[in-house]
Structure formats: C-alpha cells, structure tokens
A and B are shown apart, each in its own frame.
Chain A
Amino acid sequence: METPAAGAHQPALATARPAVDRRRARRRADWRRRGLVLLFMSPWIAGFGAFYGYPLVMSAYLSLHHYDLLSSPRWVGLANYRYLFDGDPLVWPAAKNTLWLVAFMVPAQVLFAFGVAQMVARARLGTGLFRTIFYLPALAPPVAATLGFVYILNPATGPVNAALGRLGIEGPLWFSDPSWAKPSLVLLALWGIGNTMIIFLAAIVDVPRHLHESAELDGAGPLRRLVYVTLPTISPVILFAVVIGVIDAMQYFTQAYVAADIAGGSASNAASGANNLGFPEGSTLFYPVLLYQQGFRYFNMGYASAMAMVLLAVALTFVLLIVRHSRRWVHYQGGAR
C-alpha cells in the first residue's frame, strides 16, 4: 500500500504527534505482552523461587553461620568452610567415594543404557515386550529396589551367592565388603537404567535411515556405521545422559542410605538406629550422605549448608567442563553447536 503523497507536505508537529502516539501504543502493547508472559510463567517463577531460589540464597547465608535448626543463626564467617577444608576428616573420603561414582557408575550407566537401547532397536520380534521389560525397573521406588538388592546379594542367604555356591564359586560379601559395596550399588544403578535407555532408543530410532544406507553403499560395516553415523547423530543425547548422570551421582543418597542401614544391621552408638551410614568401613559414605548426617542428625545446619555450597560449585564446574569439552564431539543437526 502506498503512502499518500499529500501526507509528506503536512507540518512537522502534526506528523510528530501520531508517531509519539504510535510509540506509546507500541510500548503499551509490549508491556501487555510482557505481563501476559509473566502471568503464564508465574507458576514456574513462584515454584522456582520457593523451592530453588530461596533455599539457595538461605544456604549461602547459613553457610556463614552456626545454626542448629533450633536457635537463631550466629555469624561465624568462614569457620564452616575452614572446618570443611581443614578439619573434617570425613569430607575427603566422602568426596572420593562420590568421585568414584562419577568415574565408574556414570560411564557404566551410559554405556549399558546405550547398549540395551541398541539391542532393543534392532529387535524384530517382541520389541514392545523388551522395551517394557528394560524400562520397568525404572518405575520401582529406589528404597524398595535397594531393599531387594540387599536381599538378593546377601552373602549368606541371598540367591546370587547360593547360585554361585552351587557352581563352586565363593561369592563376594557384596554390600558387607568395602571393596564390593560400591560395585553392588553400580549393579543396582544398571538395573534401573530404564529412563536413559528410552531416551537413547528414541534417538537411535530417529537416526535418518538414508545416512546408514549411504554408509553401507560406501562399504561401511556395522561397527563403522555405529562410530561414524549413529554416535555422531545421537551425540546430543549422549551429552544429556552424561550431564544428568554426573549431577545424579553427585546427589547420590537414597540407595546408599538404605543399603548401609540394612546391610549394616542395627548396632547403635546412640540408640538411634540410623548410624550405619557409610557401612561398611565408610565405603558408602558419599558426600550427600555426610551432608545429611551433619544437617539432620547432628543438627549442624550451618556446616551442612557450607557443604551444600561447595557441592553446588563442584557440580557446576563439572557440568561446565563437560559442556565446554562437548563442543569437540557433539554434533547438532544443521551444524549449530
């Protein structure tokens, strides 16, 4: 549509006013739009503020205080951090146990989930049944699953060692042996890889068939197609699985708590029944377990908050390093990185 030529000859003031009005109207429309966006986002903002923002700010605040949950917080400056880095003898063993999970459990989970997904994707018969079978463990509540594993891996009465015994093999002490307790937890984690497996399966199925066909025409075998077609195509999903796995490993708590409590029996120092944390020999004392112990059993919440802040910093560093490093091996569709 053409602008009427007559309009170009109107006085400057007369043309300026509608322009100002238009700008105002546009600004009002912008504000209305922003308001609408905020309105739709408000449930999330409220939830994030109440359950993430506020606790995060309070943790940072409490980490600089002595706080026993019952009396008012008392300023102690960096004393909690000094004790964490220089006084608490359990912090480093707990951190080492957690790093062990990051180093061994996360890769094992990712590889196993990918392997299962690859197998299920190739199955021609009973695909739905296999998907269901491998996914089902992910629905089991962590406490119930851990209880089940402690039972089946009981060195004396469990069916696994009974079966090994029939084959003439003396089974390990599993959750009762410090060198086997963490691998036992890894077995439990591998059993429950359903969620990761489903994500991998969706990604594998989504790999364009023509890429496989082209590679096949070029003479690539199954292994080369896996390395040069499947893996690059699903690399964003691998990155996702690794990042989520690392974060989960750093927050690993429920299974370790339950396994130690049950396998450790009921011996008590304080008639509390919950002091087997880390059994056996501190091998399952992971950083979040120690944090829980300080905060909710010793009521030393200021120190537990300092531990939480350090955990946040370490987890953030890990994730940033992984994401930064991923630029070398993650390929996004369309070439965007």
Chain B
Amino acid sequence: MRRVATIAALLATLALGATAASGAASSHPAGSAGKTTITIWVGFTGRELRIMKGVIAQFEKSHPTIAVKTVGGISDDKIVAAIRSGTAPDVTQSFTADNSGTFCSSGAWVDLAPYMKAGHVSASQFPSASAYYTQFKGTRCALPMLADVYGLYYNKTLLAKAGISHPPRTIAELTADAKKLTQRDAKGNITVLGFNPFFGWYENAEAHFAPMFGARWTNAKGASTLDTPQWRKLLTWQKKLVDWYGYDNLVRFNAKAGDEWTASNAFERGKVAMNLDGEWRVAFVADEHPELKYGTAPLPTASKLLYGSGYTTGNIIGIPKTAAHKAEAWQLVQYLATDVRAETTLSNQLRNVPTTTAALHSKLIKPDKQFSTFLTIFGNRHTTTTPITAAGAAYQELFSSWTTKWQAGKEKNLSAGLKAVDKQIDAQLQNATGGGVP
C-alpha cells in the first residue's frame, strides 16, 4: 500500500511539474522584449509561400509589437487535429471554404463578430459570394482572403489556325469550336483536344460548370435540387461531347495529359486548345510557359443573360478557439483580409482575386489583360458559389460519384438518377447534422 502511495505521489509530482512547465512556457511569448510572437498556418507552399511571407513581413513592420511565425503546407485535417489537441496556432488559413460550415458551427474558429465590431470591419466590405462562404447560419467565423474565379483559357495560336476569330460565348459555339480544334493521329488517338468535358479532369468539377447553365444546388429550404432543367441540360450536353470524343479516347488522353500543377500542364503545352481553369493559371503560365499565346474569357453560357458570370470560391482565414493571442491574431486577420495594400500585393504576385470591394477596384492592382477577365467575372452579379453545409463538400462528391458513372454511360435515366442523388444528398446532410435518416 505504501508503495502504491509513493508511486501515486511521484506521478502527481511529475504531472504538476509538467503542468507548471507548460504553463510557464505559454505565459511568455517567444519574441524579443515587448513583442508578442504569433503563429499563422497557411496552405501555401514554394513560390506562393514566399510571397505570403513577404506580405506578413510588411505587417510586422506596421505592427512593431507583433512578430509572426509563418508555417506553410497546412491542410484542414492538420488544423482540426491541432485544435483538438490544443496546439493550434493563433491564425489559420484554409483553401477549403466548404469547411467553414464545420468550423463555424462547432465553434472551432471563434465568432469574429465582436472583433469586427471593434475593428470597424463590415461584411459588406466583401462581395456577396465571399461574404457568404465565410459564415454558416449567421455565425461569421472567417474572413475571405483572396478568391478563386473560374473562366475559359484559350490558345490563340490554335484558334487562329482553325480559323476561329473569337472565344466561344454560347454552348453551341463551344461545342462547335471544341470539335473543330480537336486533332487526332492516324490511329484515331486525340493529339490536341478542343475542350475537355470530362468530369474529374484538372478543374472540371460539376460546381465549376454549373454557372454556365445557371444550375443551382439547393432550393430555398436547403433541399437538394439536382433534378432541374438546368442540370439536365448541362449533363446532356456534357455526355454528348464526351461521346463525340469517345469515352476511352478521353480517358487515354487524360492519362497522358501531364500534371495540372507543373509545367507539363496540357493547356500550357498546347495539347488542349480551350480549358476551364482558375485565375491562378495566369501566374503559372507566366512562370512556366511565357511563350504561350493565350487569352482568357468568361465561360460560355446557355443564356445571354448569364454570360460574364462564373464560379467563385476562395481562401478563408480565422482564429482557432485555442489561439493563445487572440487580440494580436485578429490584427493579422484584419490586415490580410481587409488591408488594400496587402490584398493587392498578394493579388499582384499570386494572381488571385482580391476579396474586398475596395481592393478589387484599387489602382494598386497591376493591370493585366488576361487577369482582368477574372476580376470582371468576380464582380458579375450572376457569379455564384456552392452552398456551405455542415457536411463540407460531401454533397458535391456524392454527386460526382454519380456523374462519373453518367459520363461513362453506366447511368441511362438522367432524371431518375438525379432524383435519387437528391434524396441521397438530403439524407447525407441530415446525418451530418446528427439527424439520422430522414
């Protein structure tokens, strides 16, 4: 018994010592005298991380009492694990706006309302789509920090060779141009692809095509509404174009197309004449293939009214609930999300779209003909984003699992298939909120 008591006392002493040590460590910021050191986790790596660090260095200059440690290459599962273990940094940035539903509803990222009020920051400073994807059911736990906007990239040389004078504006033009621009070898293999309609390839997600047809994911009550004329038109057009190329031919072409994020990207090498892609490609082309003669335009649309619009999503930035220095963290969040100079510097160097209306129209934005297309798309009132849900992007992926079968010709009844997916998505969302099967 005495031995047990001795061991218990020893363990208690060790535990107390450890607690005291950790308490002491957290009560003293690591920086030099008078400075508070905060940490920010970002998803950027390589060239983009260097640019981010440059902007954060500007923040440190303008906020001499705060030192910032920047850690790159962070994904959302690391953020969640760190919050759970109490080791989260002071500021976190995520590439996945779809997860703001989880971050806001769980309280994992703090509600920014009091900070915004004190800092005179209003949601109206951001375009509506960006303001939408940084909140969930009224709780704003994040601010937008640069947006991604999708449009059409076209190879001017290939279009000129095919006698096409301007990029397509309608779906009919897109289809005709895609066929005209496609080249095959003697065996029938595709050597140059006019336009790739294959879901799952590069940036070809259903969500990115949806605005071309005005297709919406949910109704006013939040129920899934895929069985609509817009989605049916989109999927019928897409399947017809896949069939024109031949499903197997496209699969074979995709397999050798080259990695999207390297200099072997098929559009950059002239293997794809027209491509759906994000605004960041402008910087990638300048860096990897400056010789490429290309142009950018809004994606062709099914109705004239929609032309000029597109899909947008973006990076989100917030403060984890376990952050040690929330006041200082807010200053960095506010700077990165709302400071015109910071936003425009990041936009000029990363070629991402700035997310405050002031930065969007600022003269500090370096003029660039290709990039300005995306600024225009971002400002279009018909430009949309995807619904923010408690299940993140799970509903999009459930839909993808069906569309991949559709494009392969394994799903024949479009309307029945879409109705079934609607039911599945509703059940999935109900389960994700702890509601079980409807």
Q: In the complex the two chains form, is A173's CB within 8 Å of B431's CB?
A: no
Q: In the complex the two chains form, is A266's CB within 8 Å of B106's CB?
A: no
Task: Report A161 CB to chain B, min CB distance, Å.
Answer: 10
Q: In the complex the two chains form, is B256's CB within 8 Å of A156's CB?
A: yes
Is A51 interfacial (CB-CB < 8 Å)?
no
Most buried by B among A156, A177, A276: A156
Interface residue from B95, B251, B398 paired with A272 (Cβ < 8 Å): B95
Is B260 interfacial (CB-CB < 8 Å)?
yes
Interface residue from B80, B83, B207, B428 paired with A269 (Cβ < 8 Å): B207
Task: Report A106 CB to chain B, min CB distance, Å.
Answer: 26
Question: Which residues 250-274 in B have Cβ within 8 Å of A in the complex?
Answer: 251-257, 259-261
Chain B interface category by residue count: 35 or more
| Complex interface: chain A residues within 8 A of B390 (CB) | 68
Q: In the complex the two chains form, is B96's CB within 8 Å of A272's CB?
A: yes
| Complex interface: chain A residues within 8 A of B257 (CB) | 265
Contact flags A41-72 to B (C-beta < 8 A → 1, else 0): 00000000000000000000000001011110
Q: In the complex the two chains form, is B207's CB within 8 Å of A70's CB?
A: no
A80 to B434, CA, bound (A): 8
Q: In the complex the two chains form, is B255's CB within 8 Å of A263's CB?
A: yes
Given A155-B255, A155-B256, A66 contacting B433 (CB threshold 8 A): yes
> Which residue of chain B lies nearest to A150 when distances are taken between CB atoms in the complex?
B255
| Complex interface: chain A residues within 8 A of B25 (CB) | none
Q: In the complex the two chains form, is A303's CB within 8 Å of B431's CB?
A: yes
Interface stretch, picked from A2-10, A20-28, A81-89, A202-210, is A81-89
| Complex interface: chain A residues within 8 A of B80 (CB) | 69-70, 299
Is A297 interfacial (CB-CB < 8 Å)?
yes
| Complex interface: chain A residues within 8 A of B436 (CB) | 76, 79-80, 82-83, 87
Is B243 interfacial (CB-CB < 8 Å)?
no
Given A265-B254, A299-B80, A281 contacting B408 (CB threshold 8 A): yes
Given A66-B434, A271-B148, A272-B95, A176 contacting B255 (CB threshold 8 A): yes
Question: Which residues 192-220 in B have Cβ within 8 Å of A in the complex?
Answer: 199-207
Given A79-B435, A87-B428, A272-B95, A176 contacting B102 (CB threshold 8 A): no
* Inter-chain residue pair count (beta carbon < 8 A): 158
Contact flags A244-285 to B (C-beta < 8 A → 1, else 0): 000000000000000000011111111110011011111001
A154 to B255, CA, bound (A): 7
Is A298 interfacial (CB-CB < 8 Å)?
yes
Q: In the complex the two chains form, is A271's CB within 8 Å of B401's CB?
A: no
| Complex interface: chain B residues within 8 A of A70 (CB) | 80, 83-84, 102-103, 106-108
Is A33 interfacial (CB-CB < 8 Å)?
no
A89 to B423, CA, bound (A): 10
Most buried by A among B75, B76, B257, B434: B434
Task: Report A151 CB to chain B, min CB distance, Å.
Answer: 11
A196 to B431, CA, bound (A): 42
Q: In the complex the two chains form, is A265's CB within 8 Å of B202's CB?
A: yes
Known: A70-B83, A265-B260, A300-B431. 7 other contacts (CB 8 A): A76-B435, A79-B435, A79-B437, A88-B428, A155-B255, A271-B96, A272-B95
Nearest 9 Cβ contacts at the A-B interface: A79-B436, A66-B434, A156-B256, A70-B106, A270-B393, A70-B108, A87-B427, A266-B260, A269-B396
- List, sorted by A's number, 11 A–B pairs whose CB atoms are closer than 8 Å: A71-B108, A90-B401, A157-B255, A263-B255, A265-B257, A267-B203, A270-B392, A270-B393, A272-B393, A282-B401, A299-B102
